[in-house]
Amino acid sequence: MVSVLVIADAPRPGECNRGLEPLLGPESCARLQEALIRRAVAWAQAIAPDATFVACHPLDAVGDFATLVPAGVTITGYAGADAGERATGAAQAVFARAGRPLLVIGTSMPWLAPYHARAAAEDLAEGCDVSFGVATGGGLYLLAMARPQPRLLQLAGETHNGEMTRRVSRQIAEELGLSVGMLHYERALDRPHDAYAMAADPMLPRQISEILRFARPA
């Protein structure tokens, strides 16, 4: 059994999906964030229906999630100088409360599927201390941990390319003496070229594709 933590910015115009604003505009970025939050939380609940947590930013954003997150999901705001600090604080709190291995995700990977969770959980069950899902554009789209790993959670705010993220992740894990599992690369929805690529994919969730198809040329 695992817990799942979703790290999410509030769906407020001008405060989320900033890399997509030249393409979508702030209002559509906020609507997109609502759809991405719903998608991420639904994935988390399918994996851990009794242990799904949402860490929202900023601190006063808990109310923004009231209509987006089903009953039974724990929502808390977390402070921190950057995304890495917020992810670290939230993950440590979930470990203290749930006492299970933890999967941490953001909201920028709408293609998350059950097999991503199975693969990560299997890595942990087979003795890996951590399992990484690296985004092609940089950063981690999924981090599975048997116990808290603050140095790895700091990668939540990094924007290296995918290969650099993979190398840095493995280097940190080796320095910490951790055994590592690796998931497939996936594209995250962070920049205009990601939006164009996803909008052309018929398998993209409908709620998200309907927003992306109105993207205006950069």
Confidence of residue 216 (pLDDT cuts 50, 70, 90): low
d(CA 191, CA 150): 27
Check residue 218 and give its pLDDT. 46
* Phi, psi for 161 (deg, rounded to 5): -70, 170
CATH number of 3-212: 3.90.550.10
**Radius of gyration of the CA atoms of the chain, in A:** 16
Nearest to 164 by CA among 206, 135, 207, 186: 135
pLDDT in tens, 60-77: 999 999 889 998 899 998
Burial bucket for residue 36 (CB in 10 Å: 0-12, 13-18, 19+): buried
Taking the C-alpha atoms of residue 25 and residue 129, their distance in angstroms, rounded to an integer, is: 41
Alpha-carbon distance of 26 to 217, in angstroms, equals 15
Q: Which 3 state secondary structure label does DSSP give 77?
A: strand
pLDDT for the residue 85: 86
Mean pLDDT of the chain: 91
* Maximum distance among all Cα pairs of the chain, rounded to whole angstroms: 47
Domain spans of the chain? 3-212
